[in-house]
Structure 1
Amino acid sequence: MAFKAELSVKLAAVCIAVGAAFGMSAACAADPVSINIVDVAGNLQLTQKGFEAFKAKHPDLVSSITFTNAPAPQLPGKIKAMQAAGRSDIDLVVTGTDALAAGIQQGLWEKLLPDQSKALPGVLDKYAPGPRKMQDIAQGYGLEVTYMPAGPLLEYNPAKVTDVPKTPDQLLAWCKAHPNKLIYARPANSGPGRTFLMGLPYVLGDKDPMDPINGWDKTWAFLKQLNDCIPYYPGGTSAVMKELGEGTRDMTVTVTGWDINPRALGIVPAEFKVGAFDNMTWVNDAHYMVIPKGVPKEKLDVLYKLMNFMLEPAQQALTYDDGYFYPGPAVKDVPLSMAPAKSQEVIQKFGRPEYAKLLADRPHVLPLNAQAMVAAFQKWDREIGAAKTK
């Protein structure tokens, strides 16, 4: 027994020495860890297979992965309560810009860059140009894992909408002429909702599209007028698409992925169309991997490896998926030809030829920064959706 104990000590010492020599955090003797991943963006459609591939490749590091879905607006409060209680039930969050922003503002996330640049070597150099700009939104607190030049776009039933709006004024006129036939989801929990919210200041010519409190006079006035002919605001985009597909509504706001994916899944009829405002500006979108503060060290070492793995081309190619976050990949040199055959078939069948021209012809901008986005959500909740959000 004494010999075995002595041998274990020597092996641990060798492990630590080797790790130190290569600048790594050695976990040779550690048991595999369980990882709890919470998704507040629908991102697991794009990344779950990649996360599972990491577990399959590294059984020495990961014993199990649990996947959970949660609404973005509720997550920051839940994490804050756990951290106050000294608990760390959530190891990794995949989020859109909504919960990312709220978590940055409330100090919930671990600082990854530049603090952990040794464990995450060269990650910023992996991103394609558009996604690289979106990575800055994370302010070092998250790593972008998927990317979409989003919208805002209008999706409609061509059998019911023949006079497709080309301006916000025309959209308002259509809505008033067809009350209860246009809806969109609460921006704080909807990619299309917040893209519409952030895209309007550019289309309307507001004073400062990046300042929702002092620079969006035209946007807030427009949304209050539009509110009069909208029956209610669903809590998420899925409910919107269900009502659109069932024929309860004739039009909604959308983004590229939320146009392609519900039609590919049969939730929305394939023949439904999209339109864009004449002077639209693309407000790009992304999903991020973030780590809540309080995750133990032995898990952090594994999570950093997992993040690096998810940015490899093979895992990024999986994010084309069924068009949910079109195109999907955030890193350079991951063409559609690298995607699974099913993904290629879906994009070829349900993608829009007009997207290429729109993406090339219209300008692209970043979404609001974390503080401004939270302020915009709060103002919308208070002044627009207060009485009608379900």
Structure 2
Amino acid sequence: MTVSGRLALRLVSVCLVASAALGSTAHAADPVTLNIVDVAGDLQLTQKGFEAFKAKYPNLVANLTFTNAPAPQLPGKIKAMQAAGRSDIDLVLTGTDALAAGIEQNLWMKLLPDNAAAFPGVLDKYAPGPRKMQDLAQGFGLEVAYMPAGPLLEYNPAKVSDPPKTPEQLLQWCKAHPDKLIYARPANSGPGRTFLMGLPYVLGDKDPQDPIHGWDKTWAFLKQLNDCIPYYPGGTSAVMKELGEGTRDMTVTVTGWDINPRALGIVPAEFRVQAFDNMTWVNDAHYMVIPKGVPKEKLDVIYKLMNFMLEPAQQAMTYDDGYFYPGPAIKGVSIEQAPAHSQDVLKKYGRPEYAKLLAERPHVLPLNATAMVAAFKKWDSDVGAQKTK
């Protein structure tokens, strides 16, 4: 063999050894632990899906930890964590509340279009209503569940024979029955914020998308209503407990918070709902967002997990026990694909009138991030300041 031949052979051998070493390094990454924080009650819909991912990919995920936290407290916690150079939270499940606060405070990673290659065709997967809700994320999150929410009134028919059909009738009923109407602080309650955002449409305010300059009628109404409301709980669960126990006779609700507490026995099955005569549906959604600072070796796994959660099998699980009715965000996922238990719950506790209302009444997006944060701050200072617990 010539010298040049031996040299070429040696170079090939070196390249092969180097390639093998690189290959073994690329596949030697240890499975990661992912810390998932839920500020929306979303784990009711998605935890089984996350666990299915871990079971399918044990080479990627060693462990999953799940934590629940109040939405108003999370941005401050993440901000402090990021300032300290720590990354204790890998994925956040949020409603529009903490999503908005995090966008305003620059806490979330930009997923789209910055990392679009990791989510091929993702925007085309969404059904029309959810697709509009996805725009609210401004590329900082991926929608994982969807609900045309409300606002609706829920009441005890044994105590309320003629439920209010207008805000004025609601105010009159509340004044005649002090302490019997209750709702939770909007910054940490889906029904609370849906009621807040729905009123400008019902009351005919000049700009329902501008809570500071366009909600004169809404703020005046809420201040009047304040006089006959005992206090504002910090979350919806406390509201439903008081309603179910008979301490209160009426609250504001949304489709999922109507169905799910009755299915769980927290609220009696025979309790009813009433929509305002000229209601506009304010839609709602849950999102998956990633705090800035999550290390690269985890990001690749998280991206794969997020795509997995948007597959039909995992989306069908979001029908759940009606908590975020209906639930699925992507196209073509029907109740027939849901687990049998979910089908039974919705057959028993769903409401036939919802289909008619959803078809007949207009639908709008909730406030954008900046406006929603402004609305929460104004409600806290002008309405709930003396009574929020």
Contact kept in structure 2, 1:12 and 1:29, CA below 8 Å: no
Identity of aligned residues (%): 85
* Letter paired with 2:365: L
2:225 maps to 1:226:
yes
Hey, what does 1:155 align to over in structure 2?
Answer: 154
Hey, what does 2:249 align to over in structure 1?
Answer: 250
* In 2, Cα distance between equivalents of 1:257 and 1:244: 16
* In 2, Cα distance between equivalents of 1:9 and 1:137: 47
Q: Please give the residue correspondences for 1:75-114 in structure 2 after superposition, counting only pairs within 5 Å.
A: 75-114=74-113
* Letter paired with 2:22: A
* In 2, Cα distance between equivalents of 1:12 and 1:388: 65
Q: Please give the residue correspondences for 1:1-390 in structure 2 after superposition, counting only pairs within 5 Å.
A: 10-14=19-23, 28-390=27-389
* Letter paired with 2:247: T
Number of residue equivalences: 376
Contact kept in structure 2, 1:134 and 1:286, CA below 8 Å: yes
Where 1:267 maps in the other structure, the secondary structure is coil
String of CA shifts for 1:39-61, please: whole Å, max 9, x gaps: 00000000000000000000010
**Runs (5+) with no aligned partner, structure 2:** 1-14
* In 1, Cα distance between equivalents of 2:161 and 2:215: 30
Structure 1 residues 260 and 316: alpha-carbon distance in aligned structure 2, compared to 1, 3 A threshold: same
Structure 1 residues 57 and 376: alpha-carbon distance in aligned structure 2, compared to 1, 3 A threshold: same
Where 1:94 maps in the other structure, the secondary structure is strand
* In 1, Cα distance between equivalents of 2:205 and 2:29: 56
Hey, what does 1:3 align to over in structure 2?
Answer: none
Structure 1 residue 14: Cα displacement? 3.8
* Letter paired with 1:82: M
Contact kept in structure 2, 1:186 and 1:235, CA below 8 Å: yes
String of CA shifts for 1:41-89, please: whole Å, max 9, x gaps: 0000000000000000000100000000000000000000000000000
Where 1:328 maps in the other structure, the secondary structure is coil
Structure 1 residue 10: Cα displacement? 3.3
* In 1, Cα distance between equivalents of 2:125 and 2:382: 41
Where 2:353 maps in the other structure, the secondary structure is helix
* In 2, Cα distance between equivalents of 1:12 and 1:271: 67
Structure 1 residue 13: Cα displacement? 2.7
* Letter paired with 1:13: L
* In 2, Cα distance between equivalents of 1:35 and 1:7: 35
**Runs (5+) with no aligned partner, structure 1:** 1-5, 17-26
* In 2, Cα distance between equivalents of 1:137 and 1:101: 9
| TM-score (ref. length: structure 2) | 0.95
Structure 1 residue 163: Cα displacement? 1.6
String of CA shifts for 1:342-361, please: whole Å, max 9, x gaps: 00000000000000000000
* In 1, Cα distance between equivalents of 2:28 and 2:138: 34
Structure 1 residues 142 and 176: alpha-carbon distance in aligned structure 2, compared to 1, 3 A threshold: same
Where 2:116 maps in the other structure, the secondary structure is coil
* Letter paired with 1:234: P
String of CA shifts for 1:87-129, please: whole Å, max 9, x gaps: 0000000000000000000000000000111011111000000
Structure 1 residue 11: Cα displacement? 3.1
Structure 1 residue 28: Cα displacement? 2.4
Structure 1 residues 8 and 96: alpha-carbon distance in aligned structure 2, compared to 1, 3 A threshold: farther
Task: Give every structure 1 segment of 4 or more consecutive aligned residues whose post-TM-superposition deviation is greater than 6 Å.
Answer: none
Contact kept in structure 2, 1:101 and 1:370, CA below 8 Å: yes
Structure 1 residues 15 and 122: alpha-carbon distance in aligned structure 2, compared to 1, 3 A threshold: farther
* In 1, Cα distance between equivalents of 2:244 and 2:270: 11
Structure 1 residue 29: Cα displacement? 2.3
* Letter paired with 1:167: T
String of CA shifts for 1:171-217, please: whole Å, max 9, x gaps: 00000000000000000000000000000000000000000000000
Contact kept in structure 2, 1:34 and 1:65, CA below 8 Å: yes
* In 2, Cα distance between equivalents of 1:11 and 1:278: 70
* In 2, Cα distance between equivalents of 1:381 and 1:57: 45
Where 1:329 maps in the other structure, the secondary structure is coil
* In 2, Cα distance between equivalents of 1:193 and 1:200: 11
* Letter paired with 2:217: K
Report the aligned-residue RMSD: 1.4
Where 2:115 maps in the other structure, the secondary structure is coil
Structure 1 residue 292: Cα displacement? 0.1
* In 1, Cα distance between equivalents of 2:142 and 2:328: 13
